Amino acid sequence: MSRIITTVIVSLWLAVPAVCANTMDDLSRYFQDDELRSLAVADQQIPALEVEPSVPMVRGIAIVLVSTQSPSLNLDTGLVLADTLKQKGWRTLLVPTDFTQALATQSTVTDNPKPVANLLNSPIDYDSYRLQIIGLVNAAYQYASQYKGYTFIVAEGMTSAVLLDALHNNLLSAPDTLVSIGAFWPARQQNQALVDWLAQSTYPLLDISIPTLSHWQTATVQSRKEAAAVSLKPHYRQRMFTTNQYYGGASTRIPGTGSVWLGQEIYSWVRYLGW
């Protein structure tokens, strides 16, 4: 089975330490048990919501990594995205990432409940979070393997950053394509390293930038594009999600129309790849 990872990367808008109210709770609260799928990750069973395609020609499955703490890819916006994709022949699996136990122990985590995008240091332990996302993606791959066609992951922000790292270091199978939305990590070393991980990737990559998401993400937009050009990376496209595509000016949250735009960009990208 071919794999498309559309990493619309989940930038955990972590008003730390609130990991208790999460997408897992929302899925269990608003959907019936028979509507949910179960992914085995380590010793946990993670619920995921599958949205069926609404046309007879099915192209594959989109794995969309969502988080309650994400300003741009949460359950609500993920459902809008899934609705757009299902009309194009894509099955969508909405997978929560915020069952995390990867919080760091610094006192600043509890003393300063600021959005991750504005912190100088991450409240998430990098290695633990990367390991968690690797396990989650592998479980989603296993589930997707029952279907024919391509598989792509939509991830955003910090989730995209650790995915780029894991793929670069061969800790995950290489995808057919990756869609990365606003990849960043709020620490200079990892944030600069993801430019090289992206440029050296061997799979097609759709790199979507959201200028208002985080200054960490904004800092590497141009260098990501230039590094891809210098390395002669094939099948690379960078797209900008501008404030004109939001409801009334600057915001970090993607509204319904923004999620539709995102779905159209993804569909345009996979059609360009011939899928």
pLDDT in tens, 139-186: 999 999 999 999 999 999 999 999 999 999 999 998 888 999 999 999
Domain boundaries, the chain: 23-272
pLDDT higher than threshold 70 for residue 214 = yes
Query: Does position 254 have pLDDT exceeding 70, yes or no?
Result: no
Confidence of residue 77 (pLDDT cuts 50, 70, 90): confident
**Topology classification of domain 23-272:** Rossmann fold (3.40.50)
- Amino acid letter at 165? D
Of 85-94, 96-105, 110-119, 200-209, the poorest mean pLDDT is in 110-119
- What pLDDT does residue 33 have? 84
What are the pLDDT digits (tens) for 227-240?
999 999 999 999 99
Higher-confidence position of 20 and 221: 221
Distance CA 267, CA 275 (A): 9
Q: What is the pLDDT of residue 13?
A: 34
CA distance 35 to 192: 41
Q: Please state the rounded mean pLDDT for residues 236-254.
A: 62
As a whole number of angstroms, the distance between CA 275 and CA 270 comes to: 5
What is the distance between the alpha carbons of residues 245 and 230, in angstroms, rounded to a whole number?
30
